[in-house]
Amino acid sequence: MKTIIFTFVLMFTTIVSLAQQDAQFTQYMYNTVNVNPAYAGSRGALSIFALHRTQWVGLNGAPITNAVSVNTPLSESRIGLGLTVVNDKIGPIQENTISGDFSYSIPTSENVLLSFGIKATANLFDLDVSKLNPVDDDPTLRDYNNKFSPNFGAGVYLHSDKAYVGLSVPNFIETNRYDDNEVAIFKEKINYYLIAGYVFDLNNSIKFKPAFLTKLVEGAPLQVDVSGSLMFNDKLTVGLSYRWSAAMSAMVGFQISQALYVGYGYDLETTRLDNYNSGSHEIFLRYDLFKNNEKMTMQRFF
């Protein structure tokens, strides 16, 4: 009976989880601490970030993600700290993760820092059995109400005011969300991330940044996000992104003040899934608190 019930769940989650085990973000470059703990504190300010993502609008049970994060450098030290809370809903499944990040940075030259980071995560996994409509009540399914599991990860992040490259594994522990006769049916896999970007000054008022994110998950196709963004007068940012064999995205952002930045992204599927939804929407706010009103030395692209 358990296998029959979870067959329904997996018919949906296989589509989702094979391509995205961790929560997926189009505008990941503004919330890098979510995938790489070494990013914590790298902006040189207390940075507060909030994001809402509605994926595959019109498709019943499609992913909805909310994320809030705070990260900051410790004054007069090479240490950075971060805290991230993510709520991810997919069909009858809801996951809440709370992550703490610690980074330590080492200057490799006058303008380049090499940061090392570790991440500790608490995960709460919840299955709403009422949405499965089982024929027979299976008491073992009641065990998946806010089921707790710990995890940890690590990352490295090399960055300057013009470029960055990072490699990370946010979660080292593969967690079996559900076992049937000791065989893992729904398993949280290890996700490997490689990110990079560079800022070109085209003239005094326009900057261009190409960037990419590569995610590798065992048993799933390689995910590659390639983007290009233009920033005008350090205020308006527009960009396009392509998720290999998955989606095209358009992004726009505006620096409302020195501290406040708002961004919006829209994804259009390039797969047959496009026939069943009207795209994905993502909006975020970022607020930076600067010490003594000093200006950020790094480009607002990252």
Return the pLDDT at 177.
61
Give domain status of residue 234, yes or no: yes
Indicate which CATH number applies to the domain containing 38: 2.40.160.40
Q: In this structure, is residue 53 part of a structural domain?
A: yes
Least confident of 15-24, 161-170, 198-207, 267-276: 15-24
In this predicted structure, what is the pLDDT of residue 168? Answer: 97
Given a cut of 90, is residue 131 above it in pLDDT? no
Name residue 153's beta-bridge partners: 119
Residue 300, in any domain of the structure: no
Mean pLDDT, all residues of the chain: 84
pTM of structure: 0.84
Decide if 49 is inside a domain.
Answer: yes
| Within-domain flag for 259 | yes
**Per-residue pLDDT averaged across 168-191, rounded?**
71
Contact, 144 vs 125, CB < 8 A? yes
- 302 domain residue, yes or no: no
- CB 108, CB 83: distance < 8 Å: no
- pLDDT band at 134; cut points 50, 70, 90: low
**Whole domain around residue 93: which residue ranges?**
25-291
Predicted pLDDT of residue 3: 40
Decide if 18 is inside a domain: no
pLDDT at 17 > cutoff 90: no
Per the structure, the count of domains in the chain is 1
- Residue 19 domain-assigned? no
Q: Which tokens in the block code for residue 118? A: 């570790």
Q: Which tokens belong to 271?
A: 């797969």
Going by their DSSP bridges, the two strands 280-289 and 260-269 should be labelled as antiparallel
In the structure, what pLDDT confidence band is assigned to residue 127 with cuts at 50, 70 and 90?
confident
